[in-house]
């Protein structure tokens, strides 16, 4: 009887200690990761969904004659035009993406180096 109570007690303590450490860890990770994720995300997700097929996750794939985005000299205005209107084998995204999303994905594409 006493033994099982002791067992239960130390088991509970272990559990509490584990719950406690994992809680404080994930809280710390969240606060540390939040700003980076916010700065990175909207355009990156759009890029992965819409552009990576041809340009690759890093912009260098060049499938079907897609240009290497890390070597592109086009500025933001040129890229917005390109993504909105398309050119040659590059599809137009004006029916898939809002102007705001196009701006975000272009901003992300400019970070590929
Ligand atoms: C179906 C394949 C395909 C997809 C999907 C695609 N592209 Fe392209 N992209 C191309 C091709 C092909 C070219 C070259 C077009 C040309 O010059 O004739 C190109 C060219 C470009 C250029 C111009 C690079 C330069 O300096 O010449 C930019 C910028 C660009 N794409 C951005 C994007 C972005 C951003 C997305 C996603 C919203 C995207 N592309 C999706 C095929 C694709």
Q: Report yes or no: 22 and 15 within 8 Å, Cβ to Cβ.
A: no
Q: Note the pLDDT tens digit of each residue in 1-11.
A: 556 555 554 54
Nearest C-alpha to atom 6 of ligand 1 is from which residue? 51
Alpha carbon of residue 106 to chain centroid = 14
Domains of the chain: 2-110 (1.10.760.10)
pTM: predicted TM-score of the whole model, two decimal places: 0.73
- 51 Cα: distance to centroid of ligand 1 (angstroms): 8
Across the chain, the runs of DSSP E, i.e. the strands, are none
Element (H, E) at 112: none
Q: Note the pLDDT tens digit of each residue in 33-86.
A: 444 444 566 899 999 999 999 999 999 998 878 999 999 999 999 999 999 999
- 70 Cα: distance to centroid of ligand 1 (angstroms): 12
Ligand 1 atom nearest the C-alpha of 105 is 35
Verify whether ligand 1 is closer than 6 Å to residue 76 (CB atom): no
Q: Compute the distance between CA of residue 102 and CA of residue 93 in angstroms, rounded to an integer.
A: 8
Nearest C-alpha to atom 26 of ligand 1 is from which residue? 72
- 108 Cα: distance to centroid of ligand 1 (angstroms): 14
Q: Compute the distance between CA of residue 74 and CA of residue 70 in angstroms, rounded to an integer.
A: 10
Helix/strand/coil for 90? strand
Nearest one of 50, 32, 34 to 108, comparing CA atoms: 50
């Amino acid at each position: 009887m006493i033994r099982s109570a002791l067992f239960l007690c130390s088991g509970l303590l272990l559990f509490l200690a584990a719950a406690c450490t994992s809680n404080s860890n994930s809280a710390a990770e969240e606060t540390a990761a939040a700003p980076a994720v916010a700065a990175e995300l909207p355009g990156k997700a759009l890029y992965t969904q819409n552009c990576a097929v041809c340009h690759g996750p890093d912009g260098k794939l060049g499938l079907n004659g897609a240009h290497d985005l890390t070597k592109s000299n086009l500025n933001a205005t040129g890229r917005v035009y390109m993504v909105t209107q398309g050119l040659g084998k590059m599809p137009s995204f004006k029916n898939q993406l809002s102007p705001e999303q196009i701006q975000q994905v272009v901003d992300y594409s400019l970070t590929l180096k």
